Amino acid sequence: MDVTLPEHVEALRQEVRRFAEKEIRPHVMAWDEAKTFPMAVVKQLGEMGMMGVIFPEEYGGAGMGYLEYAVVVEELSRVDGSVGITVAAHNSLCSNHIFAMGSEAQKQQYLRPLASGQALGAWGLTEPGSGSDAGSLRTSAKKEGSHYILNGTKTFITHGTVGDIFVVMARTRPSEPGRSSADGISAFVLEKGMNGFRAGKQENKLGLRASDTSELILEDVKVPEANLLGEDGLGFKQAMKTLDGGRISIGALGLGMAQGAFEEAVRYSKIRYTFGKPLADHQGIQFKLADMGTEIEAARLLIYRAAGLKDQGLPYAKAASMAKLYSSEVACRVANEAVQILGGYGYTKDYPVEKYYRDVKLCTIGEGTSEIQRTVIARYLQSEY
């Protein structure tokens, strides 16, 4: 890695790398095969402050910025994307939504246990019939006295079965002709154990299999009015702002996995001999490695730039979409080439590139597909030129 970071950020990188190598790497394939959520490791990360990287110490967080956060997710994902996405989803979505939009009372009640790692967060926007078209969600929230009654189903929810605190978007007003379908959507904080609120089917996924993903079922869930985040009807706008920051962490997720796959490819190319010399001495392999390394460094610069803009309080949404788009697609290309360099061995579970190959695809889908990122970027560019 050729990017020079502030001394304290580099020290954080080394701390997280040592932890990942010691506590995560020996278990990666076993967790993946069994779809085992590594709760013990998540608790350890909470004790290290990693489950509240971006939140002030007054709320139990580590008081760091998005640059440090990106480095944390990158280093965890270099070893196991499942752990990386656990930290990313917890910080960027549920916890950050409450931090940015919640009242002081809500922050004290919900953000504090999340940021300190005592509770695990989940965020519910996607539904079976509304993915990229999130504004068409159908989960309803009907006001009854001092409560809302929520009904509906959410899908592809990270930490759906293991989460403790949930931010869920629901429609408080029906769609009206001539108005955006996103109008009338509100955000609520729910807690595990509420009557009528439960996890549904746990997904059997291609990759990131140690990351918990499931449905959420809401059947006449009685939610206090005090659990409404911000104003009634502004939940969709809140969700879109939350996703802007989340795209930095998903970019870092892809970057870390790309780095891991690249390192494995370089290592193998030095020890595997063909036609009397190491693979690394063949020009065809050298060209692959050169392209992989160059694209990884470009992705890293885009991610760190977006993180830096956010830390400075400057507009960053376009930069975040660019970073997420490029990093996720680079991760797919790098993992594909890593498998190709290892040949038949790359197609087996005896080498880790097979897992990187499966894991990276999520980055082009989650928190806004590559197609959505291109739409977002194009809108910004059209307004600028």
Strand ranges (E), the chain = 121-124, 140-144, 147-158, 165-171, 185-191, 197-202, 213-224, 228-229, 273-274, 277-278
Distance of CA 98 to the CA centre of its chain: 16
From residue 198, alpha-carbon distances to 163, 190, 224, 340 in Å are: 11, 11, 17, 43
Residue appearing with tokens 């059997």: 204
Measured CA to CA, the distance from residue 73 to residue 16 in angstroms comes to: 9
Catalytic member of 75, 215, 337, 367: 367
- Sign, CA dihedral 123-127-131-133, equals negative
Q: Confirm if 38 and 364 have CB atoms less than 8 A apart.
A: no
Amino acid occupying residue 11? A
Distance of CA 124 to the CA centre of its chain: 13
The encoded tokens of residue 356 equal: 């990187």
The encoded tokens of residue 14 equal: 């080394």
Residue 367 catalytic? yes
Measured CA to CA, the distance from residue 123 to residue 9 in angstroms comes to: 28
Residue 27: phi and psi, rounded to 5, are -115, 0
Annotated catalytic sites, by residue? 367
